[in-house]
């Protein structure tokens, strides 16, 4: 058994470490990330992306500075303590550079702009508030009252809502498409600013929700949307790469 750590006479080994990861639900996430990283490196190499020795050295130096390893001897001791060879460390650094270069290509500014242009409606956003109550009758009473006095929505939320947004006057804030339940989202995004919607029941009718649409924002490629587009580009690309390989859990 390969040991990881010793506590007195007890040695905790790799098998126990893996078992703990599985039982705590961390194993699958770690494996998935490792697979994604390897798929990215393989694709970068196939596409002829280059990583120079100078870039590897610069990244290794950066790693050392972050870790406070200012002398070569310090770095050697650090790797020895981890049980990692210098070649393995260099491979780790090299792979990280391949991953970055590949993602820069996949998520380039041009790719982001093209994706946004083709899919702009999904990035429309709205500003909404809600009130959640425990009966349909209360929800209908609130709607009736708010139709006569819409400016009191925040006050009514603080007084009656059972949601954790009550202290904020029921304000959820700005949301993109895909953030709300499907049946609610279609009606909310088709509404106009100032519209009251609901009541929408929970599946078990344990609560009922009333929405106020405060504002609508047509899609714009701002910094927040660009981050989301890059995430979607990365996920779509990785899914396509996964289809090109045989991946089996062992």
Q: Which tens digit of pLDDT belongs to each residue from 139-181?
A: 999 999 999 998 999 999 999 999 999 999 999 988 888 888 8
In what side-by-side order are the strands of the sheet with 125-133? 171-176, 125-133, 208-217, 196-201
The answer to whether residues 48 and 19 belong to one domain is yes
Q: Are residues 9 and 96 in the same domain?
A: yes
Check pLDDT > 80 for residue 2.
no
Q: For residue 234, with 0-12 CB atoms within 10 Å meaning exposed, 13-18 middle and 19 or more buried, which class applies?
A: middle
> Quick one: 26 and 74 in the same domain?
yes
Residues 151, 97: contact at Cβ < 8 Å?
A: no
**Residue 224 counted as domain residue:** no
Last residue of a domain, one of 106, 139, 169: 106
User: Cβ distance 163 to 131 under 8 Å?
Assistant: yes
pLDDT for 87 beyond 90: yes
So what's the pLDDT on residue 249?
65
CATH of the domain at 161: 3.10.50.40
Give residue 178's domain range.
125-217
Domain count for the chain, please give it.
Answer: 2
Shared domain for 102 and 8, answered yes or no, is: yes
3-state secondary structure of 162: coil
In a domain, 231, yes or no: no
Q: Which residue has the higher pLDDT, 129 or 16?
A: 129
160 is a domain residue: yes
């Amino acid at each position: 058994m390969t040991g990881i750590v010793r506590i007195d006479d007890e040695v905790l080994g790799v098998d126990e470490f893996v078992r703990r990861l599985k039982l705590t639900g961390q194993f699958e996430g770690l494996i998935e990330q490792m697979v994604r990283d390897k798929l990215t490196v393989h694709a970068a190499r196939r596409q002829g992306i280059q990583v120079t020795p100078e870039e590897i050295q610069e990244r290794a130096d950066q790693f050392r500075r972050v870790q406070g390893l200012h002398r070569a001897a310090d770095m050697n001791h650090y790797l020895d303590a981890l049980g990692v060879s210098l070649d393995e460390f260099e491979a780790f650094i090299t792979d990280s550079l391949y991953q970055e270069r590949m993602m820069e290509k996949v998520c380039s500014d041009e790719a982001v702009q093209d994706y946004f242009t083709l899919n702009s409606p999904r990035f429309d956003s709205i500003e909404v508030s809600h009130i959640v109550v425990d009966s349909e009758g209360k929800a209908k009473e609130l709607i009736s009252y708010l139709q006569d006095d819409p400016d009191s929505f925040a006050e009514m939320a603080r007084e009656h809502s059972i949601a954790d947004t009550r202290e904020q006057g029921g304000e959820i804030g700005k949301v993109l498409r895909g953030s709300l339940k499907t049946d609610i989202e279609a009606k909310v995004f088709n509404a106009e600013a100032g519209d009251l919607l609901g009541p929408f029941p929970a599946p078990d009718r344990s609560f009922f929700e009333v929405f106020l649409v405060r504002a609508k924002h047509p899609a714009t490629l701002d910094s927040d949307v660009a981050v989301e587009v890059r995430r979607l580009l990365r996920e779509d690309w990785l899914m396509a790469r996964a289809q090109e390989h045989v991946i089996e859990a062992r």
